[in-house]
Structure formats: structure tokens, C-alpha cells
Amino acid sequence: SSFATLLSLLHRQVIGATVTTWNEELETPFVYMKEQSSAGDVSTVDVISPASPFYLYLAPETLRLMLLPLLEYSANLTYIRYNLPWAPHHLGDWPVCNILPEEQEQMPMEETGNMLIMLAAIAQRQQGQVEYLNKYSDLLQIWANYLNESLPDPENQLCTDDFEGPSPHNANLAMKGIIGLGAYSIILKYQGDVSRSEYYLSQAVAYAYQWIDLAKDVEDVHDLPHFRLEYDKNGTWSMKYNLFWQYVLDLNIFPDAVRQIELAYYQTKSNKFGVPLDSRGTLAKCDSTLWIASMYDLHSEQQQMMLNHIYQFAHETPTRIPISDVYDTSNNEAIFFTARPVMGGLHSIALLNQQKVQKMMTDIVKSVTSFEFIACSKCELSDRYGPDNGYNCHPIGDTENVVCTCPDNSYQTDKRCRICDAENICGNPSIACAETGIFPDGSLFACFCSNGLTSYGKACDESSLITTVSPPEATTATTPTSTTTTATSISTAMDLPQRTSVKKLKNIFF
């Protein structure tokens, strides 16, 4: 309830930074966002991006209209001649959109990754409607080429945490660029360009495995495994909050083990009032913290700890101003910023869980539509649902009638799904298994196994459990042909167990 209170307060703060105008030439609304307090810029991309979980969750069309002015500016469809191969930082000083390319606060990989990621996320929430992007196809290709040519090692440049200064070989920034390439592959797929989509996806995956090798920290064998702040600096660490976007986009670029390793490590770095951004100091960002919190298991102790830190900051900080997004984890004092819309990032937990529910329901519908209506004699739990009473139930599952839906919208399950841990439904006691209820009455159950498979009472296939990973070589960006095999083989290699001990993960990567 305390976190819900915080979200309700932030609703006005996020929306209050925007204004809607009417573009007479295009006959469409444009939405602009002001970078409150920190610079007063118009439509700063790395302010829109941290605010975007709010809009993706509640109003994806508003976010689309917010990106249109940036696309128009970048594609030279205004009187400003934009000539940079990466996305712009902002459009001007509020409320005038007239900044020249050379006057930008350049954040090449940051803003390019942000734009591609947000465009892909919007497309996913608008049923793949990307026709409006056709006029910007050349621009998006230029941005993707920039990422492809710059990865996996960014040069010395600024990222959104610009108050810390430029950072060469920044691992978290590279992660955003890699996921940005994956986002571009999503856009291409919606546009029907399958071959180039597969090419850029395979590039992203190859860079991800290079990232693992470059970023892993090996200085202290007694420390928990983790990944560095910068590739060449052992003994450093940073929040890899950009990994959040992999799960927003439902991509499988970085192995899930990277998430597990990092989340376990952050638990060892918490100060009295929260976890800092990185090893350079004690400052934390609320939006980044919530991106991290969203990647913990829902309602877990670790997730709740991070939520409590943000609420404690807002409720108890001695700096009594409209809620800041940067504070010192050593004394709970706000630093720099006031009332910024980036606090829309606090909706990240709601966004990810909204997606999980939607995906689960989609999978169920697909299962239902793939079977004939037959009597569900194998999953009867009482005489009420027997064929003698006129019930012909609809089975869901592979070969076994384990879950049945009946004409009166009732549901039955085989008892094995309700005790899947106890009876080793996944076929191996070392593979963790959990049951989940889909409907409010908890009547429809499935077993989800930690080797990535789903069971409706049938044992999960142990053979899919991957215990070793060999980093693939990166492909070259010459021509996007014959990449299907590469993308498939890499994707298969990434199907790592989702509940593996940190010790085992250390053996895999370190």
C-alpha cells in the first residue's frame, strides 16, 4: 500500500511535464516532454526513456506521439539539418525546438538505443502497427548501423548518468546498445523484412556473448561473481538496469543467468538507504532502482527491500521538495533534480507483470484452440464433470488431458499439477518446478520448470537443460544473408536454467 501511495503521487509528476500540440502539416497531435529542473530541454530522449514504463503501461499511443517530433527532426523533415549517425539528445530549450546538431549534448549509444527500444516496445503494444515508421526507414537503418559498427565496446562517451561524466568501455551502456539492435530486429520483423530481422538479432546475440567475456570481473575470487562498470576496470561494478529492456521486449539476447548473477550481487552492495548506481559513489537513481527491482521475483524479499528504500527516501528524506529521482544512499538526501518525469520508471514492475499475464493467457488460448472437444475422462476430479452428466470438456496440454475447460466455464486439473515439486513433475529432482494459478479462483494450474519448459502434468524434457555455454564468434556486418542458422543456434544455447545457484552460474561464466 505504501508503494501504491507513491505511484499515485507520481502520476501527476509524470504527466505534468508534457504538453500536447497539433501539427497542421501532418494533421496529428505531437506530445512534448520537458526535462524539469535539470536542464529545461525539450523532449530529452534519456528523460522520455526512463519515464516510458508509465506510458507503455497506461498509454502507449501517447508515447508514440512523443517520439514523432524526434523522428521528424532526425529525418531532416524540419528546417534543421540533422547530420549525425546517431539519435539526438533533445530538440531545444523549452519551448523552442531549434537546436543544431553540433549543439547537442551528445549521447550516441544511449539515445540511439533508447529510440529503437521505445519504438519496438510501442509496436508490440499496438499489435505490430508500424506503417507510420515507413517514412523513417532510412533513419532507423542509419541508427542500427551506428550501433552495429560501435559494439561491443562503446567509446568514451556520456550515458544518461551524465552527472558522473563520460565513461569509456561502459558495460551497462553497451548492454543498451546490444538490446537496441535486438529492438531494431523486432521492428524489421513487423515490417515483414525477416532476413534482415534475423541478421540484426544474431548480431545482438553475438555481441551479448562478447559482452559477457569483456565485462566479467575476475579480480577477487572470494567475491560474488558480477560484471564490471567498465570493461577494463576489475574490482568495479554497476547496476545493469538496461537489462530491464530485454524483458520488456521479450527478447532472449542475454542469458537469464546474467540477470541472476547481477541481482544476487546488488544485495551485497546496499547502503543504509539503498543500493548506489555503481562503485563510483553513493548516489542512487529511483527510476533505475525500480528497473532493477522489477527483475526480481514478484513479491520477493529482495524486491520488497528495493521498494522500501524508494518509499523511505520519499517519505523520510530531509530534502522536502517535489520528489527527486537522485539521492544519496548514505544520508537519504536528495541531490540535483526536482519533480522530473523520469519517475514514471516506477511503473516498471506493473509493466513487466502486465506482460507476463498477457503472455500466459495467449499461450493458454493457443493451447485451447489446438485440440478437439472430447470427454475429459482422465482429469475428472468429481462426478460433476463426468460424461454421464453431459460434460464434454476441452483438454489443454500435450497428449495428456491434464487441464480441462468445460461448457459452464469450470476448470479441472490433474492433481499432479498441484504438487509438481513433490512428485518431480519435471523429471529430475534438481530441476525446480512451480505451479501457478491463472484465474481468480486458482482453478487452472500449470507447472513451470526451471529448464524453461511448461508442463501441464507431463514431465518436462530434461534434455533441454543447458549446463555449459560457449560464446559464439560475432558475425560481420557485411551483408544480411544466411543468418537464420546462426540466430537459431545461439538462441538455443541461451536457454539456460532460470533457477540455478549462484555457484553454478559462476562456473558457467567465470
Task: Please report whether residue 54 resides in a domain.
Answer: yes
Tell me, yes or no, whether 103 and 146 share the same domain: yes
Residue 200 and residue 141 share a domain: yes
Residue 314 falls in which region: left (phi positive, over 0), alpha (psi -120 to 50) or beta? alpha
Rg of the Cα trace of the chain? 24
Give the SS3 label for residue 219: coil
Whether the per-residue pLDDT at 442 is higher than 50: the answer is: no
Whether residue 478 lies inside any domain: the answer is: no
Q: Which of 332, 359, 386 is a domain's end point?
A: 359
Alpha-carbon gap, residue 408 to 393, rounded angstroms: 10
User: Model pTM greater than 0.95?
Assistant: no
On whether both 77 and 209 belong to a single domain, the answer is yes
pLDDT at 427: 47
Residue with cell 543498451: 176
> How many structural domains does the chain have?
2
Pick the last residue of a domain from 303, 324, 359. 359
CB 414 within 8 Å of CB 397: no
Whether 496 contacts 466, CB under 8 Å: yes
User: Hey, what's the cell of 345?
Assistant: 520508471
At residue 460, does pLDDT exceed 90? no
Q: Based on the domain organization, do 304 and 437 belong to the same domain?
A: no
Tens digits of residue pLDDT in 146-164: 999 999 999 999 999 888 8
* Pair (59, 136) in one structural domain: yes
**Domain closes at, from 326, 359, 392:** 359
Q: Reduced to 3 states, what is the DSSP secondary structure of residue 428?
A: coil
Query: What does the pLDDT read at residue 345?
Result: 93
Residue 477, in any domain of the structure: no
Domain holding 284: CATH number? 1.50.10.10
The answer to the question of residue 470 being in a domain is no
Report d(CA 337, CA 286) in Å as an integer. 11
Which of 89-93, 134-138, 228-232, 448-452 shows the lowest mean pLDDT across its residues? 448-452
70 within some domain? yes
Identify whether residues 244 and 353 lie together within a single domain. Answer: yes
Q: pLDDT for 314-353, tens place per residue? A: 999 999 999 999 999 999 999 889 999 999 999 999 999 8
Give me the domain span that covers residue 134: 2-359
Band (pLDDT 50/70/90 cuts) for residue 469 is very low
Shared domain check, 198 and 73:
yes
Judge whether 474 lies within some domain.
Answer: no
Q: What is the pLDDT of residue 2?
A: 76
Grid cell listed for 366: 493457443
Within this chain, do residues 334 and 461 fall inside the same structural domain, yes or no? no
Q: How confident is the model at residue 421 (pLDDT cuts 50, 70, 90)?
A: very low
Task: Kindly state the greatest CA–CA separation across the chain.
Answer: 79
Residues 316 and 413 in one domain: no
